[in-house]
Structure 1
Amino acid sequence: MEFSPNNNLPLTKFESMLKTNHVLFFDSEEFENIIHHYLTLGKVSLAKKAIKLGLQQHPDSINLRLFKVEIFVFEDKLKEADILLNELYELEPHNDEIYIQKANIFSKKDNHKKAIHVLKQALELTDDVQDIYSLIGMEYLFLDKFEDAKYYFMKCMEEDTEDYSALYNMIYCFEFLDQQDEAIEYLNSLLNKNPYSEVAWHQLGKQYYALKEYTKALTSFDFAIISDDTFVGAYLEKGKVLEKLKRYEDALESYTLTLELDDATSFALLRIGQCYEKLNQDDLAIQYYKKTIKEDPLLDKGWIAIIKFYNKKQNYKKSLYYVNKAINIDSENVSFWKFYAQLNFRLNFLEEAERGYKKALELGNYELETWLVRGDILLKLGEPQAAIYNFIQASEFYPENAEIEYRLAGLYFSLNETEKGEYHLKNGLCFNTEYAFIIEELFPKVYKKRLIKNLLKSK
């Protein structure tokens, strides 16, 4: 039982008792409702107080003791929970809740197979099979047994076609198994039974969107909106489809409606900005990009949209200004550092550009281009040893890469380390002769040497 504004007397009475320390009597069912209320709100300490007082007044109540088990499990006191459950099993061996809590303990111990076994026993003892089907489905998800999980979530839907939690989990299984066609077939059968299920229409649209069947996706989202004209998610998804169809003005209308229905989301603001940019309405585009980062400063896509916007306009200084602001908020974002490096390079700030590429590498961006550009910048900065170290590291990620080998050859020859230079030049010629121009382009003095010309001609 849930407390409502017109039926919260036991709760008010209980909270008044806590303030006055004057002990009042409640029947066991009232205690159960109070405990359930607090657990639903996540107020565990108040739930524990209610359990303690409840058991003082009703020490033989099985349900109150089961709540105590639930708290033990929540606090990872699995041994204490197990002992109490065994006592309760002796008293009520056919109580399905005892089996559910036992399964919960097995699940906490990552013994999901035993949890499933116990839950299947509980199925034979209960009239409320829907919740247990859901629990079994979740245990199969933990085991990555998606077909089995899907089966039990379908069983949930057979009990209640509006069990949307089960529906979402089932769709997750379909998607993981790459069964879009089967998902579409299932959702259509569900809609035949419940044609005004906005969630089913929404999920159907997402399946069509994944298959790039945008016209069918659009129809599905329209039906979701007909079923519930306040369904923000359907408007957002509809906007995405309209963008794919290059109907940017219609997409704008769909996204803008979400701002009227609910608080602004950074996603909607960003998409509105991108639609305005597609429509060449730059002032409105940048206005919404700025609203995006104000709404959610941690959303990297918002910052990247502004950075790219000014970059396209060749306003590199302004683009770099926003990169620096983004890095101040999230200094571990690889994309920000790559933009930092690229923009500084375009502005001929080589030391800062090198710093940016170095940071990107430290954060795990091991793309070949990052290694190559950083090494070339180090060469321009007159740091050949650092450049060599950079390319040697790169060769560990990209062995037998001609672009790296020619650069190493040129560097070693420029340092008069002829033997190493020859070794890498021969490697480069062996891997790919087409990149031999790197020697002439990056190391013109080395290229003029007779030894190098002879080695290049030999190939």
Structure 2
Amino acid sequence: MNHDFPSFNEFNEDFEDLRDLLQQYENLVAGRAHSFLDEDSFEQIIDYYDEHDELINAIHAAELAIEQFPYSSTLLLKKSGLLIETKKYKEALSLLDKAELLDSNDINLYILKTDVFLAMNQHEKAAAVLEEQIDHFDGEDRTELLLELADVYDDWEEFEKVFDCLKILLEHDPNNEEALHKICFWTEFTGRNEESIRLHTNIINEHPYNQLAWFNLGTAFQGLKLYEKAIDAYQYAVAIDEKFDYAYRNMGDAFIRLRKYNEAIDVLSKHLEIAKPEDVIYEAIGHCYERMRKYTQARYYYRKASHLSPNDDKLYYKIAVAYMTEANWDNAIKSLQAALKINKQSAEYNMALGECYLEQGRTKDALIHFVNAVRIRPSSPNAWQELIRGLYVAGFYEEALAQLEAAEAKLGRKPVFLYYRVALLIAEGKTKEGLLQLENALQVAPRQIKKLVELDPSILQHTSVVELISQYRKKR
């Protein structure tokens, strides 16, 4: 069994060597007899102090080292790095200029210069340093400078340039994982999906087993809502790396968009097998079952999500809705109460709870929650609609008409309110007035007649109402 880890003995030897070096260095500082310290030894001593946050000692060691080796650009870079840490930017810059005269081929020189300008909030200068140098380097050095430049643009909030920079980098180094990860985010952020598709198609033509390139191709297609093409790309990604959890996650999302719920459940279940379980994955599977009207399974997965995320009120609400579709009012109420405990200020939860109570004939409880909903969201037509409906069902016609006036004063004459007024007038025995209002409503919004029937299906037992509706249909 041969691991590439240093053995305990090697660690021990290194530690002994370092201790000897530090002893010799302390002798030098104290003016005592000492062995000669070469440039490499000084570097180790400076690093030791720097790693142990002894900056003053590190700078002192660097100064002594430079006295002994005045033409070492490496030591000048070490010292300027320490000066940047202690915020002495002007001094650091003049040392870096000196180092550049000695050796202009060390990319650390330009990265440190960039750090100085960024620390001084001079983004333009920081970018210029790197832009000037990129063509002078190739291989890994060029890659590193381009990654650095992308970070400078990001910090500078020049987001289009971040994308440009990563694109250049990947044309030069197509298998660079860091750049592939980053460009995926920036493609979405800048919306440059077409360019991303061209770039990654080129990479895949050269490197067909690059699973990150396939994944990025998928996300770019997904960004353009080309879900079938996205799914194809993700399938290549997981064929190359079957533990690529993000590819399964995105593929699941694409299948959901295509309303292919069984396929979505398959790939999301695969995600659960290979990655740490996550609430969003359980929730997405629950959503698929809900869309397939398999409410028991939907609730099972929403519950699993809520175990992982017990403070997410939306999950309790989704469980409640799945119960409401099955007219299981008691259980729906329990789930809605759990949701409201976490988020008292949700008009939606109050409306749903009011609806459950109304179905159970508990009109007083229902009205309390409808009033809450209107108080929380006075500009929501739905909240007003529910309150007026609750009052209508409870038989409080006068109060319902008063709230209808208030709603129209607040939101204007919405078609649904016109139809609710018809029902209220007829319920109060003002049939003639009700029919006049119905005629008006049919002219303004004929399609909304369904709101009247939803409110009270028995309204169709009034022959005069039915006659008026059929007359109007003939005219049309």
Deviation readout 1:284-311 (Å, 9 max, x if unpaired): 4322221111112244553343122112
**2:419 is aligned with 1:402:** no
Q: Please, what TM-score do these two structures have when normalized by structure 1? A: 0.67
Q: TM-score if structure 2 supplies the norm length?
A: 0.65
| Shift, 1:206, TM fit | 2.4
Asked whether the 8 Å contact 1:341–1:355 carries over to 2, the reply is: no
Query: In 2 relative to 1, CA 242–83 (structure 1 residues): closer, same or farther, beyond 3 Å?
Result: same
Write the mapping of 1:46-445 to structure 2, written as runs, cut at 5 A.
47=51, 49-59=53-63, 60=66, 61-68=75-82, 71=85, 80-89=87-96, 91-93=98-100, 95-106=109-120, 109=121, 112-121=123-132, 123=134, 128-141=141-154, 145-244=158-257, 247-278=260-291, 281-299=294-312, 301-331=314-344, 336=349, 339-340=352-353, 342-343=355-356, 348=363, 349=365, 350-360=367-377, 366-373=379-386, 391=407, 395=410, 398=411, 401-403=412-414, 436-442=418-424
How many matched pairs?
Answer: 394
User: Unmatched 5+ residue regions in structure 2?
Assistant: 27-39, 67-74, 444-476
Code of the aligned partner of 2:110 = D
Q: In structure 2, do the counterparts of structure 1 residues 48 and 272 end up closer, same or farther at CA, with 3 Å as the change threshold?
A: same
What is the letter of the counterpart of residue 218 of structure 1?
I
Post-superposition shift, 1:195? Answer: 0.9
Aligned counterparts of 2:418 and 2:297: Cα–Cα separation in 1: 49
1:6 to 2:20 alignment? no
Q: Which deviates the most, 169-178 or 92-101?
A: 169-178
**1-side partners of 2:262 and 2:313: how far apart?**
25
Percent identity over the alignment is 18
Contact 1:344 1:352 in 2 (8 A): no
Residue 49 of structure 1 deviates from its aligned partner by: 1.5
Q: Which amino acid aligns with 2:117?
A: A
* SS at structure 1 position matched to 2:310: coil
How far did residue 186 of structure 1 move? 1.7
Structure 1 counterpart of 2:61, one-letter code = Q
Q: Any conservation in 1 of the 2:404–2:421 contact (CA below 8 Å)?
A: no
